[in-house]
Amino acid sequence: FDLMTKFAEYGFNKSHTAAYAVVTYHTAWLKAHHCSAFMAATMSSDMDNTDTVKIFYEDTVKNGITVLPPDVNESDYRFVPVDAKTIRYGLGAVKGTGQQAVDCILEARKSGGNNGGPFKDLFDFCTRVDKRMVNRRTIEALIRAGAFDAIDDHRARLLASVGIAMEWAEQQERNAMQAGLFDMGAAAEEHAPQLVDAKRWTEKQQLMEEKIALGFYFSGHPFHAVKAEVGRFVRRTLDKLEPARDLQLMAGLVTATRTKLTSRGKMAFVTLDDGTEPQEVAVYNEVLEAERGKIREDEVLVIEGKVSKDDFAGEGKVRVSAERIMTLAEARGRFARELRLSLNGQVSRDRTAAERLKTLLGAYVPGMCPVRIAYRNGEATCELSLGDAMRVRLEDDLLAALGDWLSAEAVEIRYQ
């Protein structure tokens, strides 16, 4: 105790306390009265650390400030306050860029002459920037981050077209140099080639690509795509968990995992996020050994576990330990009553329709969920339950394939 007392004489030095108090007051005043400028400066101060940017970004949103997405025609290198309630995302915070590349983009954007002003499309962008500074990796990162959305929001098509856009821009430069060499006047302006045709990304894929570029989900949350469905059997969100004797169901996206060696063997701590509040779940050795293959980052898990009060984490905080781990497909199989497919007679005109349905379902047999066909045409309606041999696993790929063939509305999972 005497040793601690001696340390406390300096550990709580009054001059340090006073100095930090002044800094705290200054920053608190700035955050309260000039929040957008203060938070823009705060995020800009550590742009290379995406984990830190994510923390500051979430705090910014909680303070009622809107953060606009990165934009090659609007953003600067740093985060910039647009007004008292709005901040524009900085291009320098996109992974794969850098100050030299961003400065080159800004210079090309404001340069005079016929090519000045906002970029018109991907080909115009590639033509005007210096490819030695702004390389393919930089352009792809900007597309993934949504920095071209104001020009063209079809990110999959833009990403697939980066190669031909850069080749075309290089060809234009060679044509211009050749025209100047032989003094034949300006080279004839060629029309840019067409963008590569590509299927639009799903919401989940777009968010995953965003995370690659920005380090976190910016325009949404992957769990929101399944939130309504999961809510049919998971009654409480993670922020509403309360201690109870009985096991409780919870669901969320796996955002982080860490392991630890204990006297009982290896255990894991899995962080789930459902868009309300992240919750860490302890997975002890016995469960971890049985369910290890299901724990994958950026995948949805449904966990049945024990919720107890956490006296060390603060008021209202809980501790969760997993008793059972399920993938979303397994949870569907456990709680679904049936998979109902509606056929309207149009599909059945194709004589191979029955074979196609059998092939699609057969790839996900055996499973737990019964399949029911609701058929109608201009003359009759009927419903047919397929046998137990055609029970399926309700994987995302199966639901997507059936939705592409029939329609999203014709594929329905009915829960108990």
Chain segment 368-385, per-residue pLDDT in tens: 999 999 988 888 899 999
Burial of 183 (0-12, 13-18, 19+ CB in 10 A): exposed
The model scores a pTM over 0.85: no
pLDDT over 70 (residue 190): no
Nearest to 281 by CA among 325, 314, 242, 245: 325
CA neighbours closer than 13 Å in the CB half-sphere of residue 98: 9
pLDDT for 1-40, tens place per residue?
Answer: 888 888 777 776 778 889 999 999 999 999 999 999 999 9
- By C-alpha distance, which of 195, 209, 233, 156 is closest to 414? 233
pLDDT at 178 over 90: no
Q: What pLDDT, on the 0 to 100 scale, is given for residue 56?
A: 96
The pLDDT of 401-409, averaged and rounded, is 92
- The C-alpha angle 85, 91, 96, rounded to 5 degrees, equals 145
Q: Which two tokens stand for residue 308?
A: 């107890």
Is the confidence at residue 307, as pLDDT, over 80? yes
- Say what the alpha-carbon torsion angle 148, 152, 154, 155 is, to the nearest 10 degrees: -10
How much is the average pLDDT of 163-182? 82
What backbone torsions phi and psi does residue 252 show, to the nearest 5 degrees?
180, 170
Contact 129, 83 (CB under 8 A): no
Per-residue tokens: 90: 């900085």
Question: pLDDT tens digits, residue range 260-275?
Answer: 998 889 999 999 999 8
The predicted pLDDT at position 174 comes to 86
- pLDDT of 180 > 80? The answer is no
238 Cβ partners below 8 Å, 6+ apart? 250, 252, 272, 273, 274, 276, 277, 278, 279
pLDDT of residue 182: 53
- Across the range 84-111, mean pLDDT stands at 95
Q: Supply the DSSP symbol for 410.
A: G
